[in-house]
Amino acid sequence: MTYPPAPGEPGSNQPGEQPPQYGQQPQYGPPPQYGQQPPQYGQQPQYGQQPPQYGQQPQYGPPPQYGQQPQYGPPPQYGQPQYDPQAPYPLMPPPTPHRRRGRLLTALTAVVVLAGGGVATYVALSDSSSHGAASPREAVDDIVSNINSSDLVGMLDSLAPPERVAIADPLIKDFDELKRTHILSADADLSHFSGAAATFSGLTYGPNITVNDHVQIVQITGGKVHIDADLSKLPFSAEFIQQVSPGHPLQGRQSETVDIGKAVHASGESIRIATEKVDGHWYPSLFYTIADNAAGAAGLTAPSAKDAIPAVGASTPVDAVKKLVDALLGGDVSGAIEVLSPDELGALHDYGGIILDQVGSSYPAAPITLDRLELHSTPGSNGAQLVVLDGFSAHIEGQGQISMEIDGDCVRVTTQGRTQRMCTDQLTHQIEQLFQQSGNKPLTDGQRQALEDLTSATNLQGGIVTTQVAGKWYVNPIQTFFDATTDLLQRFQDNDLLELIGLFKEFATSSVSAGGGVFCPGPQPC
Amino acid sequence: MKGGQVGVARAVPAALGSAGLVCVVIGTFLPWLYSGSRSRNSYATDGAARRLLGVTGVGDAALAAWPFVGLACGAAIAALLVGLVRTAAVIGLLAAAGAAAGAIAMLTANENVVVRTAIVGPIVTLAGSLAVPAAVTIHVFGSSRSRRENG
């Protein structure tokens, strides 16, 4: 069934309108008549006629003119209005010079705005990534400037990247946890540390000491440092101060200006700050500074490149920890340093030679033979792997065989053929009994809760942090320590730490009064 | 709607959106974090957070993209100037949403993180961010109204 086309649809001819004829071939002039000769492109050669001579071009008449439109009559009329080609276009008049200028101006403004965004991004990227200094002395100047501004964020940010990773993140987290557990006051602010401030001025420097291609020691030989300390402004909470020093709030203020030049002259030693070069930029290094000052205090000279202990590492995180355990039990100092992260403890590698000179390349091995050490690794943050203990079996001289397996919150220990299973709740109970017996009074609910949280915080699943450097795995002791601290603090509830401090104080007091030998403060023998 | 009214109806959201985006960019360069006696703009704060806090995953990607807020705002205004209104709206809304998220994160971080946040930078950025969706809304309603009136 067909319907007549609706008005407006193709095929519906409205009176007076000339709709386009869809489906119909446009008329390009009259078609050629049947029997009429097609267009003559020269004449076909006739039989009997001489074929064209080779070398002679056949005569086909003039070729059609390419590039020229063939003349097929007037173009089709689709109902468009007829415009006078000479008349201006009614809807899109040619742009006037004024409008052209306006458009050009708009386009230019757009380009300028876009360029402004680009400049803002360039400045933003510079601000975002600005760290490191061009020279060791500039690196020291940077951190001195941060100290003068009490800018702790800047101080941490100016440290060498591996140290920053090891220290900054856990320090910030621990600070937050100490606030949460009421050790620090609620308004304590790491970015505005109150109670102590130091201001350096007029610093003068001696010649730098080059340790190796990536470590230089900057010597401060003169200038002044002004130290302001106000105990009452330290960011401890009132509860914490009451707990550690009841009835005696922290008080006392000291302000002092030290002439560094005079101090250096009197001691004969400059203030030495080690700097480390990482990716072409210089940073102050806390660990190298500690190592350098320790070496100086021991009367040792700065190490040379030949003193360095190479970073060897291991093929897997578990192997790295096993190698470290073997080296430590075997008394192999050099072997232990070889598997420590050269990023985190580069100072230990570079100062390794002089450490060995001091303590010897080995120490007496522990009287333990490790038969079995079962570990596994789990992913940690920033690409690190946490190596976790599953169990071990060892022979201890004089004690016999001992083995231990970790089973969730419980530990299964086998000594001399006898197996004992100890879980964290049992541990809590034993500690409670110990404190009750020593204090001769029952624990408060808060103290009991704090002890339960403490034992649950004894994280049996805690791991050793390992990281990969140049394809090898290394142990990171500093990160492991800070991770464990943060993990422990995160498990404490509100006043747990304050309760534990109180409990230990009671325990210590009762032990002293009972002559228990825990603390013997007086001159008389306990 | 008369021609003059149409012009005003188009100019108001364009001006509001552009002003909002400019505010976003200005706000990001104002103080966002105080540490000691030193202040940091949003980009210095962003860099310090990435280096010190060990942020990973989506957070790290967001912090890495933050310096490009200015470029996105510039691109949105440029698109608006050359008449690409929809493109301008899309880029502007994305930039404003990102900037607003950053500003809100910083303003609410005061309670949780051990930093002393500055108010002025995040507030200016947030105000600018809110102006952009307002401008887009005005433009959309204005357009539909003018279409209705023109039949």
Element (H, E) at A394: strand A385-396
Q: In the prediction, which pLDDT does A362 show?
A: 72
Per-residue confidence at A16, pLDDT binned at 50, 70, 90? very low
Highest mean pLDDT: which range of A317-321, A407-411, A454-458, B36-40 = A317-321
Per-residue confidence at A34, pLDDT binned at 50, 70, 90? very low
A110 vs B contacts (CB less than 8 Å): 77-79, 81-82
d(CA A161, CA A165): 6
Highest mean pLDDT: which range of A51-60, A199-208, A418-427, A452-461 = A199-208
d(CA A64, CA A419): 108
The count of CB pairs under 8 A between chains A and B is: 141
Q: In the prediction, which pLDDT does A141 show?
A: 93
CA-to-CA separations, A322 to A111, A270, A315, A411, A479, in angstroms, rounded? 61, 42, 11, 21, 18
Would you say A212 and A304 are in contact if contact means Cβ atoms under 8 Å apart? yes
Q: In the prediction, which pLDDT does A49 show?
A: 44
Does the pLDDT at position A84 exceed 60?
A: no
Highest mean pLDDT: which range of A162-176, A280-294, A355-369, A501-515 = A280-294
Q: What is the pLDDT of residues A156-214, one digit of tens each?
A: 888 888 888 788 878 888 888 888 888 888 877 776 666 778 899 999 999 999 888 89
d(CA A387, CA A376): 6
Q: In the prediction, which pLDDT does A377 show?
A: 92
Place of tokens 């470029």: B71
Would you say A84 and B35 are in contact if contact means Cβ atoms under 8 Å apart? no
Q: What are the structure tokens assigned to A140, written together?
A: 């020291």
Q: In the prediction, which pLDDT does A313 show?
A: 94
Is ipTM beyond 0.90? no
Residue of A nearest to B37 (CA): A149
Q: Do B72 and A117 touch (CB under 8 A)?
A: yes
Q: In the prediction, which pLDDT does A61 show?
A: 44
Put simply, the chain B residues between 59 and 88 with a CB less than 8 A from any chain A CB are: 66-75, 77-79, 81-82
Would you say A473 and A313 are in contact if contact means Cβ atoms under 8 Å apart? yes
The reply to whether B131 touches chain A by the CB within 8 Å rule is no
B116 vs A contacts (CB less than 8 Å): 189, 191-192
Which residue would you say has higher pLDDT here, B26 or A27?
B26
Comparing CB atoms, the residue among A113, A120, A188 nearest residue B78 is A113
Which residue would you say has higher pLDDT here, A327 or A63?
A327
Place of tokens 């989506």: B58
User: Which of left, alpha, beta for A46 (phi over 0: left; psi -120 to 50: alpha)?
Assistant: beta
d(CA B46, CA B122): 13
Element (H, E) at A374: strand A368-379
Which residue would you say has higher pLDDT here, A480 or A131?
A480
Full-model pTM = 0.68
Per-residue pLDDT of chain B (151 residues; tens, 9 = 90+): 555 565 666 788 889 999 999 999 999 999 998 888 888 999 999 988 888 877 778 888 888 899 999 999 999 999 998 888 889 999 999 999 999 999 998 888 755 455 678 889 999 999 999 999 999 998 888 777 777 776 6
Q: What are phi and psi of A271, to 5 degrees?
A: -80, 125
Helix, strand, or coil here: A264?
Answer: helix
Mean pLDDT of A77-104: 58
In whole numbers, what is the pLDDT of chain A averaged over residues?
77
Would you say A147 and A157 are in contact if contact means Cβ atoms under 8 Å apart? no
- The distance in angstroms from the start CA to the end CA of chain A is 118
Q: In the prediction, which pLDDT does B6 show?
A: 59
Q: In the prediction, which pLDDT does B99 show?
A: 93
Residue of A nearest to B69 (CA): A121
Residue of B nearest to A178 (CA): B114
